[in-house]
Structure 1
Amino acid sequence: MLELPESLAAILDGEEDDGEGLLPGEVFWRDHYMWLNECGYLLRPRYRPDWVPSWTKTKKWPESCEDGLLQLDSDLMDGERKSDGKVVVFKKISKSRHPYEEEIGRFLSSGPLASDPHNHCVPIIDVLQVPDDDDLTILVMPLLRKFKDPPFDTIGEVLEFFRQIFEGLQFMHHHLVAHRDCMVLNYMMDPTALYPRHFHPVETDRSRDFKSKAKHYRRTSHPVSYVIIDFGISRRYQSSEMPPLEPPILGGDKSAPEFKKSAEPCNPFPTDVYYVGNFIRTCFLEVYHGLEFMRPFVMDMVQDDPEKRPDMDAVVDRYAELLTSRRTRSLRGRLAKKRENPVAGIFRRVSHSIRTCIYIARGYNPLPTPRAL
């Protein structure tokens, strides 16, 4: 199937540019380029007020140029911290729509919580109040990458991912924060271990300077830290409010049984347990071989009756027992899709066997836990 260039596809979908090559959602960032610069952050050349497209008067396609890369999500933008060159992401928040997101993000990134090894929540680097709109705040966060890009290689790598997200959600619950939307899109990873030379924040398979492919390592040799993001519909409670009762609210996963039965207020903490269990069931147990031993455990997490689900303390404890019961050989096993091309599978098994021998010779842990944890 022929794929349209991203900019052309966006225009055909109704996202016409402003006559200067920017989409409507990008205009905000161009208009605030100088203010962000004064705050210590630099946007890409595309968003400079005096930007002239590099393909002007040439035969180049815009998609072949770094400044031709579009930002289709108007609430997000990448940038660079001028003091040290760190690549960051800006998230624009409407306080009237998401009144708790900034507060919860600050809380989970504050004081001793920020350095707690059990904290797997995205850190907030800075909070900026938009000067010409009292309703808009910008959260500054580190550049992250999708949790499964590049793909997992071994069963042990996936089990370490599960361990970290269980621990992260347990941490949130210990501090009386219910995420309420912990679904597939809200798990990310810190890419610095896999991509020490970084990558382009929009075209993530390219190098940061857009001149070559982005090179990366594998998780077993370079363990990864995973983070939970997006507290837009999260809530934080006081001990006097426990257990809380909240009206149903639908996030990315709309399958929670308690929301289908009635509109009565319910406790959001068991719903979090359902969400993370359903994520593992649908994105891993139903897709990959080698994880069937987790099915009884996951099915407990997704029971229809919220009161019968384990809390996150029980989830973490039981999962730790599951991990200790796994043999090293099984942890080093290849994570293979159930619907895999047989021919491709042969080549992948051979290359995996070679890598496994190298991992064993170098003493790499089959459960690749980052040193900082």
Structure 2
Amino acid sequence: MDAVRISDRSLVAIKVVKSREQELQIAQFLSSLQHTSNHCVPVLDVLEDPLDTSQSLVVMQYLRPWNDPEFVMVGDVVDFVKQMLEGLAFLHNYRVAHRDIAPPNVMMDGRVLYPHGHHPVWRNRSPDAIEDLVPLARIDHPVKYFFVDFGLSVRFAPGQSPLVLGDVGRDADVPELSSTVPYDAFKADIYALGNFFDREFAQKYRGTEFLGTLIESMKQRQPALRPTATELVELYEKMRKTLNPADFRWRLAPRSEPTYERLFNDTVAVTKNSIDQLRRFVRPE
């Protein structure tokens, strides 16, 4: 549920969790770590459920789905992948495996896209739900993405084996998932995030071919062949430096788009982007 924080009138989200379950402890632990690479949903407060003392009310920063509004430029994807890899490396470096990486469990702080706010339910409308809103462009107003929902997560002690059991999580494509054969929870996270990138970007849009090598390494069938999250951050940073920044403003064209429609939409996008760029440099007297 959504609510408003009295101190500053900012939107917050409230989730009910079992007080003794690991989800609460992991979320609080991760939220307490101050680092630019921390992409775990911020926990603002924890309250006792007045109706059930076995439960807690977790007050978190209000976030919206990572793809609402939709991605429109190649640079949107470049930044998203960078943040998600950094966030996963941060998790793993603190010995936490998410174990349920999937589109519903990634969200963003989109406040910069709606500088005058928006309705918490009808997210593309004004706070009073009367006017339709047009979001600002992510490429000019960068957002921050977050992993959410640590209900299946595990925090390992230093030196503890990361082997787990359980055919769990939203991504059933992870090949090693098993309720009887132990598998490396960190390597399963790597596959799940790679599958995320593959399904949501590489398979859907033209212009995302630069992700091919990264995704291939993350989706190796043999878990031992997959790089660690830290290695992936380094690999992606090297690869990102080879990209032409001018291409970041190129439109994300759906692979399902007919050629004639793609040519028309590309022309419109180039024209609109040129006008937007001129507006940034030309100021009225």
Q: TM-score range by the shorter chain?
A: over 0.9
Count how many residue pairs are aligned between Structure 1 and Structure 2.
280
Structure 1 residue 267, shift from structure 2 partner: 1.4
Aligned with 1:144 (options 37, 58, 63): 63
* Aligned residue type for 2:109: D
In structure 2, the residue corresponding to 1:219 is in which secondary structure?
coil
Are 2:225 and 1:308 equivalent residues in the alignment?
A: yes
Retained in 2: the 8 A contact 1:221–1:359? no
Ranges in structure 2 where 5+ consecutive residues have no aligned partner: none
Structure 1 residue 92, shift from structure 2 partner: 1.0
Aligned with 1:198 (options 110, 117, 128): 117
TM-score by length of 1: 0.71
Aligned with 1:281 (options 198, 208, 212): 198
Q: Measure, in 1, the Cα distance between the counterparts of 2:106 and 2:88.
A: 11
Are 2:179 and 1:257 equivalent residues in the alignment?
A: no
Q: How is 1:214-233 mapped onto 2 (pairs within 5 angstroms)?
A: 214-233=133-152
Retained in 1: the 8 A contact 2:18–2:24? no
In structure 2, the residue corresponding to 1:193 is in which secondary structure?
helix
Match of 1:104 in 2: 26
Retained in 2: the 8 A contact 1:198–1:214? no
Residues 321-362 of structure 1, C-alpha deviation per residue, up to 9 Å, x if partnerless? 110111123222111101125565445323321343246554
Match of 1:239 in 2: 158
Q: How is 1:86-125 mapped onto 2 (pairs within 5 angstroms)?
A: 86-95=10-19, 99-110=21-32, 113-114=33-34, 116-125=35-44
* Aligned residue type for 1:94: K
Retained in 2: the 8 A contact 1:207–1:215? no
In structure 1, the residue corresponding to 2:177 is in which secondary structure?
helix
Aligned with 2:209 (options 286, 292, 303): 292
Q: Measure, in 2, the Cα distance between the counterparts of 1:325 and 1:184.
A: 28
* Aligned residue type for 1:92: V
Structure 1 residue 320, shift from structure 2 partner: 0.5
Q: Measure, in 2, the Cα distance between the counterparts of 1:249 and 1:255.
A: 11
Structure 1 residue 295, shift from structure 2 partner: 1.3
* Aligned residue type for 1:246: V
Match of 2:254 in 1: 337
Match of 1:64 in 2: none
Are 2:111 and 1:187 equivalent residues in the alignment?
A: no
Residues 120-175 of structure 1, C-alpha deviation per residue, up to 9 Å, x if partnerless? 11100111110231221111111111111111121111110110011001001111
Aligned with 2:5 (options 81, 85, 89): 81
Aligned with 1:353 (options 228, 251, 270): 270
Match of 1:28 in 2: none
In structure 2, the residue corresponding to 1:212 is in which secondary structure?
coil
* Aligned residue type for 2:166: P
Match of 2:85 in 1: 166
Coordinate RMSD, CA, aligned: 1.8
Q: Percent identity?
A: 36
Q: Larger radius of gyration, structure 1 or 2?
A: 1
In structure 1, the residue corresponding to 2:43 is in which secondary structure?
coil
In structure 2, the residue corresponding to 1:216 is in which secondary structure?
coil
Retained in 2: the 8 A contact 1:179–1:231? yes
* Aligned residue type for 2:267: V
In structure 1, the residue corresponding to 2:186 is in which secondary structure?
helix
Retained in 1: the 8 A contact 2:66–2:108? yes
Retained in 1: the 8 A contact 2:118–2:125? yes
Match of 1:320 in 2: 237
* Aligned residue type for 1:104: I
Retained in 2: the 8 A contact 1:78–1:89? yes
* Aligned residue type for 1:228: F
In structure 2, the residue corresponding to 1:257 is in which secondary structure?
coil
Distance 1:310 1:251, change over 3 A: same
Q: Which has the higher strand share?
A: 2
Q: Measure, in 2, the Cα distance between the counterparts of 1:221 and 1:354.
A: 17
